[in-house]
A and B are shown apart, each in its own frame.
Chain A
């Protein structure tokens, strides 16, 4: 209480007792000196003149039950005595919070409602110590909390990040590309294909990005078919064993046969097991995200907007490469020239492997050990 507050109090207010009403509507008398320790009660007395009689008992917040009030008053009664040492107070506090967790929680809320900050801090620290080092399940048990986060929320999958424009754009391009390829594969025979380097020119690439698909109609009409097929594949995937078995039979993936080469498929395969059960419940977000193909039911205005975005991306690719990438290239160039002319550490780093083919200089935690070789004159280390 400040001095001005004291000046305002009339003498007849300095009664030894004050009346408090707890959450169960019961009313009790409490030593005023002790009760004033709580800012809430202090305010009620001074600003509103409450608590002088049973009729105008101070209505404590609903978090304060009789049991909690009793505990809080014990705390106040101890600490309001001026002569105590810090050691005494600390010992009292440590003993004070050795109560069951439920009581501790209640006490925290009660103390908070009465604005008794030191007690809030004390109980909060005690609760924090209880929480530290525990798993989410254990914490849930202790505090009787519901396990209401979904698996998706626990992992925060891709689909929650739709507002990152680059991710959106890239997924858009992937989806388009994937459709085109699937369409091509569907038409071709399923055979082992020789992988070939994509030899299209930049112009071709940009025209692809700009939406000048070679077979727009074809893609559009087969979209639904592909969507269903993908769903079926998805179901098949999720129902089969989660481990990626390496069987003797061929696995067809995107039109390519991936034949298992090695003959020792026994042993490890059989004995392996799944540790992570999240897979059982979690749908493949990447596929789901692809399936969420807004091109289908999209309204023309939004579609035009998206097409503009893609065009924008293409334009930026063409003449306005993102600053960051430009920087990256220019800095790499600079560094390369600098390193080769000044015989800097980078140069040495590049050639370290060539000069020491046999030595496993792999655990070195200082960069300079890679270049502390027989070089004349010895180069000072970087760090």
Chain B
């Protein structure tokens, strides 16, 4: 028997349902639920900005207050996506400026944001509160000036890892004296010094400030006075963590400052560390839950001394200077550790110069029962080690292993690492994210297709023997959303045979593989809800035979049709004629570029 709720009761009920997945589910229940849900939806996450048009989103969700958009594919982080590829946010901002004036939060990742966009944001949304730009680019400190001057209710400004044209450190002076609502500020990506007295004033008048991540240009001897303005901080990213010479008075003022921060739980920054200053943070170590030392070039012994005092650590990011012995210490003292990331100090060096091997990871997997998320760079690995890790830690949800040299086999047996990764997917039943490396045949993909049923994102490079590998993954991994592949011998067959699968995924990236231009065209023409884009900087792919492999291929599902902002080196495979039209438009573009 059906019970009909009054609309406002359903709306009220929906207000208790927050996660994107759940909101998506309730919107698909029935016509009436769809209608009610869409009118009261406040937050939306769009994993690919080209999957849907701004107009569609706004039309469907007129009451939005928070939007999250992602632009470029993940492999853009590794310079595989040429500049000018796309990911422009401006059309979104324009549409929302007109239709959603009450918008409060914009979170972007890997998108191109211009100063014009920032200005439009600053002037259009009276109640604007949160601006998060992760790995974004295209804007300068001029744009930040307009944000600072106009957004009176701003709570969060986070520029993490963005490429900002740092023209002047005075942009921070544009926060008016009456502005006091700052909660979170992350400027760690900026290159130049910000106006420190303005920053101090800002920190002093914002009592709700919880997060402050400075950039490397902030000198260490200024840190104590900055901290004294905001002792209530929960998260701190230091600037450079050294002075030309060790100065005892700097150390003592640091100690005083840190001792005053009773709520501090998270530390990062630590550019260019002078180890003698590390003891200043010892007082807060017992409270630390998150420690990011991935820029700290310090020896294992110093790292161990620090971490030995952090028994409550949940998250640790560190360089491979920590070495196996350091990781053993982590395994012994950080029993609540959930996330570990070990970055390479010198990726280009081919000789193993650091005593960090697979043993470090094995000991952490054994000693830390809550470990869920791993990112590990190393130079050697064995199937036995992977097997041990899998059996020790079946609760792993994210496992990214990066053996620096491609095609590296098991160093003990010289066999491929198929069985090792096989053990990982077999034991870690809730694995959501996996990155492969080392010498791998099609067999590893068979294991993945058979066991990795909850896998959502897979990154593959220099692996596999044939199309069978790709086929296993596409046909076996039911929850796969993102697949990124480079330098693998995967061709047309697996892709075309599993074409329907691609519409159930967010995106597929393939570069330096063996997918032919003809197959791309076929896919583009046959699959109306897929955008098939070929990236080729050497010229139009149709100037070569159809069986020539394409340089890079990016396929994503979309209900917005082919995008309108493709640069000259991106071709859509929508249709023979439409592709030609894009070519023509590209030609016109080129004309304009020369003006």
Q: Which residues of A contact B (CB under 8 A)?
A: 102, 105-106, 108-109, 112, 120-121, 124-125, 127-128, 131-136, 139-140, 143-149, 153-158, 160-161, 163-164, 166-167, 170-171, 173-174, 177-178, 180-181, 195-198, 200, 202, 205, 237, 242-246, 251, 253-254, 256, 258, 260-262, 264-265, 267-269, 271-276, 279, 284-287, 317, 321, 323-325, 327-329, 331-332, 335, 338, 345-346, 349-350, 352-353, 356, 358-367, 369-370, 372-374, 380-383
Distance of A324 Cα from B344 Cα, bound (Å): 39
Distance of A186 Cα from B131 Cα, bound (Å): 54
Q: What residues of chain B lie closer than 8 Å to A181, measured between beta carbons?
A: 576-577, 580
Known: A102-B3, A170-B561. A253 touches B522 (CB 8 A): yes
Q: Check B28–A136 contact: CB distance below 8 A.
A: yes
Q: Check B564–A166 contact: CB distance below 8 A.
A: yes
- Taking a contact as CB atoms closer than 8 A, the residue among B375, B405, B559, B593 that contacts A365 in the complex is B375
Question: What's the minimum C-beta distance from B461 to chain A, rounded to whole angstroms?
Answer: 5
Q: Hey, what's the 0/1 contact readout for B460-493 against A, CB within 8 Å counting as 1? A: 0110001110010001001000000011000111
Q: Check B294–A366 contact: CB distance below 8 A.
A: yes
Name A290's closest neighbour in chain B (CB-CB). B575
Q: Check B491–A167 contact: CB distance below 8 A.
A: no
Q: What residues of chain B lie closer than 8 Å to A202, measured between beta carbons?
A: 587-588, 591
Distance of A317 Cα from B350 Cα, bound (Å): 51
- Taking a contact as CB atoms closer than 8 A, the residue among B90, B135, B523 that contacts A327 in the complex is B90
Name B139's closest neighbour in chain A (CB-CB). A331
Question: Can you give 26 A-B contacts (C-beta < 8 A)?
Answer: A132-B22, A139-B29, A156-B56, A156-B559, A161-B55, A161-B559, A178-B578, A195-B546, A198-B583, A244-B499, A244-B522, A244-B523, A254-B575, A258-B546, A261-B492, A264-B493, A268-B468, A268-B471, A328-B114, A331-B138, A350-B79, A358-B350, A358-B406, A363-B400, A367-B135, A367-B161
**B33 contacts A by Cβ under 8 Å:** yes
Question: What's the minimum C-beta distance from A237 to chain B, rounded to whole angstroms?
Answer: 8
Name B498's closest neighbour in chain A (CB-CB). A272
Name A373's closest neighbour in chain B (CB-CB). B348
The 8 closest A-B pairs by CB, nearest first: A128-B16, A286-B528, A383-B161, A195-B542, A136-B28, A363-B402, A177-B577, A383-B189
Known: A272-B471, A338-B165, A380-B191. A205 touches B500 (CB 8 A): no
Question: What's the minimum C-beta distance from A51 to chain B, rounded to whole angstroms?
Answer: 24
Q: Check A276–B503 contact: CB distance below 8 A.
A: yes
Q: What residues of chain A lie closer than 8 Å to B468, measured between beta carbons?
A: 267-268
Question: What's the minimum C-beta distance from A365 to chain B, rounded to whole angstroms?
Answer: 6
Name B78's closest neighbour in chain A (CB-CB). A362
- Taking a contact as CB atoms closer than 8 A, the residue among A102, A279, A382 that contacts B189 in the complex is A382
- Taking a contact as CB atoms closer than 8 A, the residue among B26, B30, B400, B580 that contacts A177 in the complex is B580
Q: What residues of chain B lie closer than 8 Å to A195, measured between beta carbons?
A: 542-546
Question: What's the minimum C-beta distance from A197 to chain B, rounded to whole angstroms?
Answer: 6
Question: What's the minimum C-beta distance from A232 to chain B, rounded to whole angstroms?
Answer: 17
- Taking a contact as CB atoms closer than 8 A, the residue among B19, B77, B500 that contacts A279 in the complex is B500
Known: A120-B9, A139-B29, A332-B84. A268 touches B1 (CB 8 A): no
Q: What residues of chain A lie closer than 8 Å to B348, measured between beta carbons?
A: 356, 359, 361, 372-374
Distance of A170 Cα from B114 Cα, bound (Å): 25
Distance of A105 Cα from B114 Cα, bound (Å): 49
- Taking a contact as CB atoms closer than 8 A, the residue among B78, B189, B499, B583 that contacts A370 in the complex is B78
Q: What residues of chain B lie closer than 8 Å to A143, measured between beta carbons?
A: 2-3, 29
Distance of A58 Cα from B116 Cα, bound (Å): 62
Distance of A197 Cα from B540 Cα, bound (Å): 8
- Taking a contact as CB atoms closer than 8 A, the residue among B56, B78, B588 that contacts A363 in the complex is B78
Distance of A259 Cα from B584 Cα, bound (Å): 27
Given contacts A127-B16, A286-B574, 9 further A-B contacts (CB under 8 A): A134-B25, A146-B2, A174-B575, A198-B584, A254-B525, A258-B518, A261-B492, A328-B565, A380-B191
Q: Hey, what's the 0/1 contact readout for B547-582 against A, CB within 8 Å counting as 1? A: 100000000000111101100000000111110110
Question: What's the minimum C-beta distance from A311 to chain B, rounded to whole angstroms?
Answer: 16
Q: Check A275–B114 contact: CB distance below 8 A.
A: no
Known: A120-B9, A317-B588. A254 touches B576 (CB 8 A): yes
Known: A356-B348, A382-B161. A112 touches B6 (CB 8 A): yes
Question: What's the minimum C-beta distance from B273 to chain A, rounded to whole angstroms?
Answer: 14
Distance of A164 Cα from B51 Cα, bound (Å): 15
- Taking a contact as CB atoms closer than 8 A, the residue among A132, A140, A200, A262 that contacts B492 in the complex is A262
Known: A177-B581, A262-B493, A359-B404. A148 touches B521 (CB 8 A): no
Q: Check B526–A244 contact: CB distance below 8 A.
A: yes
Q: What residues of chain A lie closer than 8 Å to B126, measured between beta carbons?
A: none
Q: What residues of chain B lie closer than 8 Å to A134, measured between beta carbons?
A: 25
Q: Check A167–B561 contact: CB distance below 8 A.
A: yes
Name A192's closest neighbour in chain B (CB-CB). B546
Name A185's closest neighbour in chain B (CB-CB). B576
Q: Check A360–B29 contact: CB distance below 8 A.
A: no
**B201 contacts A by Cβ under 8 Å:** no
Q: What residues of chain B lie closer than 8 Å to A360, measured between beta carbons?
A: 402, 404-406, 437, 461-462, 487
**B306 contacts A by Cβ under 8 Å:** no
Interface residue ranges of B243-271 to A (CB < 8 Å): 271
Q: Check B22–A362 contact: CB distance below 8 A.
A: no
Question: What's the minimum C-beta distance from A2 to chain B, rounded to whole angstroms?
Answer: 25
Known: A177-B577, A246-B493, A317-B588. A128 touches B405 (CB 8 A): no
Q: Check A361–B78 contact: CB distance below 8 A.
A: yes
Q: What residues of chain B lie closer than 8 Å to A369, measured between beta carbons?
A: 343-344, 347
Q: Which of B32, B165, B461 has the most CB of A within 10 A?
A: B165
Q: Check B588–A174 contact: CB distance below 8 A.
A: no
- Taking a contact as CB atoms closer than 8 A, the residue among B83, B347, B486, B584 that contacts A372 in the complex is B347
Interface residue ranges of B1-50 to A (CB < 8 Å): 1-3, 5-6, 8-9, 12-13, 15-17, 19, 21-22, 25-26, 28-34
Name B91's closest neighbour in chain A (CB-CB). A324
Q: What residues of chain B lie closer than 8 Å to A140, measured between beta carbons?
A: 29-30
Distance of A147 Cα from B343 Cα, bound (Å): 50
**B295 contacts A by Cβ under 8 Å:** yes
**B282 contacts A by Cβ under 8 Å:** no
Distance of A105 Cα from B379 Cα, bound (Å): 59
Q: Check A170–B78 contact: CB distance below 8 A.
A: no
Distance of A135 Cα from B589 Cα, bound (Å): 46
Q: Check A364–B77 contact: CB distance below 8 A.
A: yes
Distance of A268 Cα from B591 Cα, bound (Å): 46
Known: A324-B90, A327-B114. A364 touches B26 (CB 8 A): no
Q: Check A200–B525 contact: CB distance below 8 A.
A: no
**B75 contacts A by Cβ under 8 Å:** yes
Q: What residues of chain A lie closer than 8 Å to B6, measured between beta carbons?
A: 109, 112
Q: What residues of chain B lie closer than 8 Å to A356, measured between beta carbons?
A: 348
Question: What's the minimum C-beta distance from A29 to chain B, rounded to whole angstroms?
Answer: 28
Q: What residues of chain A lie closer than 8 Å to B77, measured between beta carbons?
A: 364-365, 367
Question: What's the minimum C-beta distance from B64 to chain A, rounded to whole angstroms?
Answer: 16
Question: What's the minimum C-beta distance from A379 to chain B, rounded to whole angstroms?
Answer: 10
Name A178's closest neighbour in chain B (CB-CB). B577
Q: Check B53–A352 contact: CB distance below 8 A.
A: no
**B496 contacts A by Cβ under 8 Å:** yes
Q: Check B161–A329 contact: CB distance below 8 A.
A: no
Distance of A244 Cα from B491 Cα, bound (Å): 14
Distance of A322 Cα from B228 Cα, bound (Å): 49
Distance of A174 Cα from B162 Cα, bound (Å): 37
Q: Check A149–B28 contact: CB distance below 8 A.
A: yes
Q: Check B501–A275 contact: CB distance below 8 A.
A: yes
Q: Check A253–B528 contact: CB distance below 8 A.
A: no
Q: Check A170–B564 contact: CB distance below 8 A.
A: yes
Q: Check A149–B90 contact: CB distance below 8 A.
A: no
Distance of A328 Cα from B467 Cα, bound (Å): 39
Distance of A62 Cα from B229 Cα, bound (Å): 60
Q: Check A155–B559 contact: CB distance below 8 A.
A: yes
Q: Check B501–A364 contact: CB distance below 8 A.
A: no
**B453 contacts A by Cβ under 8 Å:** no
- Taking a contact as CB atoms closer than 8 A, the residue among A121, A254, A265, A285 that contacts B528 in the complex is A285
Q: What residues of chain A lie closer than 8 Å to B565, measured between beta carbons?
A: 324-325, 328
Interface residue ranges of B332-350 to A (CB < 8 Å): 341, 343-344, 346-348, 350
